[in-house]
Chains A and B, each alone.
Chain A
Amino acid sequence: MTEAIRQPDIGGPAQPMLIVRDLQRHFVIRGQTRRRKDVVRAVDGVTFEVAKGETLGVVGESGCGKSTTARLLMHLTPPDRGEIILDGEKVGDPRGVSVRDLRRSVQMVFQDSFASLNPRLTICDSVAFGLRVNGQPATTARLNADAMLRMVGLTPETFSDRYPHELSGGQRQRVNIARALAMSPRVLILDEAVSALDKSVEAQVLNLLLELKERLTLTYLFISHDLAVVRYVSDRVVVMYLGKIVEVGPVGAIYDRPHHPYTRALLASRLSMNPKQRISAPPLTGDPPNPIDPPSGCRFRTRCPIAEAVCALAEPRLARVDAAHDVACHACDAGSGHTLARLTGMEGA
């Protein structure tokens, strides 16, 4: 049924599903005084790729730009700069793919399952909405919506005519997933999609997501602050800090051989899950700085245990440290002038 609107693979398996180059979004907000305008550098030059069938995890603390990146990808917030290439076709380009088509190929599931559903529509109508907007007759759309609900484990006979407030959090999140999948998207952006759920329900929804990915050959962009969940679902991981990517690499490399001091601290902040091996000292002190006025040079230097003079002067570039593993830290970049850089360089040689 829904096969009819399934979108074809255009660029072949080697073509990345998504290429994001130098994406930037600054928000101008009213400053402390009437004359001054403050700028929040929410996303400040972000570049990454997502291969077909891959799950790319995005981790970082609040305010690091994870969600803004997701919204930029969907053009829910127009980017100031940068380009998005969907399966080889540039978004918004006359010869590429339109924003309307992008939004059909890329769908999103948000954290707040209740706020993302219209409280006045039954869940079947919510799921069928996108299909109707895209030209399906009402009866076909409802049939397809029921099929979608069945696919996410909700029996349509019981659930179709219910309203969002009659469902539990886990069930509502399943409805949101069904609605996203109704458009037969190729990419699903999951923005903290399981964060608000209880642990036992979270596990159910994670299982469902992995199952659906395989069945429908989807590509996931999985945004979360939960490092354990990201490790569980991701093939590759992007670590963000104050609007910048600080480290990107295969999930094993990021978790077992983290190079950036922020990634290390983030991993060390995970709770031990063992009362006999409690954490004795916090890996980082203080909170992330304000994205309105980020530190010069490397944005992490104010909390970094190995910061040096060079870190305040120049912004570190994403340098390759290992196969497909890039790190934006002067200490990992041989030519940067950081005293630890030469050591790291020699290790690599």
Chain B
Amino acid sequence: MTHENAPLPVESAAPLVSVENLSVTFRSPDKTVTVVNDVSFTLREGEALCLLGESGSGKTVTMRSLMRLLPPTAHYTGRIRLRGIDVLALKAGQLSGIRGSLVSMIFQEPMTALDPVFTIGQQIAETVRRHDGVSHAAARTRALDLLELVQIPSARRRLDAYPFELSGGLRQRAMIALALSCRPRILLADEPTTALDATVQIQVLLLLRSLQRELGMSTIFVTHDLGVACEVADRVAIMYAGRFVEHGAVDDVLTHAAHPYTEGLLHSTVHAERQGGRLEPIAGSPPDLAALPPGCSFEPRCVFARAACRAGMPPLSERGAGQLARCIRGSSIHEASAPVYDAEASL
């Protein structure tokens, strides 16, 4: 592994992942839906970013775009660079050069992501042989090392186990081992612990956190669970209706949320210490992506909404060190539009 790490310092000046104005549109004969809209972010070596949002907010599509795993109906615009490689410009045949070795992915449901008719050992060894061109025996040794790396007990025996013979937690560990088999620099994790029980979830999250530190990987998590983000992320990006609405260090975003949607999410999450009383949910439900409201997508559900919000999509604006929010409240436009709001309130 050391020889692989050697060229990295040279490139570490540039971010490992850089996404600029990414939009993903799905076209069907009757409608065109923009699922990811103007998303930009960068990720440094060893950093963990968490994309947080509700179902349909575009977080999974954003993540899958990084590996070009979307169906052919997806139409990309913008730019994705992984370690300087322009992913959207690659030909289909070149994609296998980055998948697995530069960027790899773990999925929510390991039972459907793993092949049911091959043993865990066979699946990992096959990947290792395909990418590293080593012998069967060497690949199997590597598979055993990987199972030990992800802390699967009695790993030697588990090499010959089929996915159905493993418990949910072990299956997820096996999938992590498979994802790590070609020493990726970037690990994408799509709801990696959602299907797991609480006591197993925390084990897997701690494993991912320690692996990330040990192997110096960058990780992008997709989750809907604020708790997961708190445990693993350095930075979080809150997504709503295909856009980043807030982006910043996990501490900042969760302690002083700048966007009303983030605030709403925090209020409607049932915290450990709460009992009885009313929760403060966000009214309404997420908008139809094919018919977004004019202006801010969150405006119809927002308690702070005012006339200026319908005028146009607010830009992501700076709120303190490295924290960005897509809301006119607290930005300069807010002050300018205050009288409009007062006039409305007095009606």
Residues of A in contact with B (beta carbons under 8 Å apart):
61-62, 168-171, 198-204, 206-207, 210, 225-229, 231-232, 251, 265-266, 269-276, 278-288
A231 touches B274 (CB 8 A): yes
Which A residues lie within 8 Å of B71 (CB)?
none
A-B contacts, 29 listed (Cβ < 8 Å):
A61-B200, A198-B55, A199-B224, A199-B268, A199-B269, A200-B265, A200-B268, A201-B54, A202-B270, A203-B279, A204-B268, A204-B283, A207-B278, A225-B197, A228-B270, A228-B272, A228-B274, A231-B274, A232-B276, A269-B198, A270-B198, A270-B227, A271-B205, A273-B227, A275-B251, A276-B251, A279-B202, A279-B206, A287-B169
Interface segment, one of B87-95, B228-236, B335-343: B228-236
- B238-273 toward A: CB 8 Å interface, digit per residue (1/0)? 000000000000110010000000001101111110
**Interchain nearest-CB distance for A218 vs B (Å):** 16
**Interface contact A61-B198, CB-CB below 8 Å:** yes
In the bound complex, residues from chain B placing their C-beta under 8 Å from that of A269 are 198-199, 201-202
Nearest 8 Cβ contacts at the A-B interface: A271-B227, A203-B281, A203-B268, A61-B197, A287-B167, A198-B54, A203-B279, A200-B282
Q: Is the CB of B279 within 8 A of A274?
A: no
Q: Are A278 and B231 in contact (CB under 8 A)?
A: yes
List, in ascending order, chain A residues with CB within 8 A of B269's CB.
199, 203, 228, 273
Closest beta carbon of chain B to A294's beta carbon, Å: 14
B199 in contact with A206 (CB, 8 Å)? no
Cα distance, A200 to B55, chains bound together (Å) = 11
Assess the A229–B199 pair: CB atoms within 8 A.
no
With contacts A228-B272, A286-B169 known, is A265 near B199, CB below 8 A? Answer: yes
Return the chain A residue nearest B281 by Cβ. Answer: A203
What residues of A have a CB within 8 angstroms of the CB of B168 in the complex?
A: 62, 287
What is the predominant secondary structure among interface residues of chain A facing chain B?
loop
Decide: A202 and B268 in contact? CB cutoff 8 A. yes
Q: Whose C-beta in chain B lies nearest to the C-beta of A272?
A: B230
- Cα(A226)–Cα(B254), bound, Å: 21
By beta carbon, the residue of chain B nearest A201 is B285
B86 interfacial by beta-carbon distance below 8 Å = no
Chain B residues contacting A271 (CB-CB under 8 Å) are: 201-202, 205, 225, 227-228, 230-231
Contacts of A207 in B (CB 8 A): 278-279, 281
Inter-chain CA distance A170–B254, complex, in Å, is 25
Q: Which residue of B lies closest to A60 (CB)?
A: B197
In the complex, A281 Cα to B203 Cα: how many Å? Answer: 8
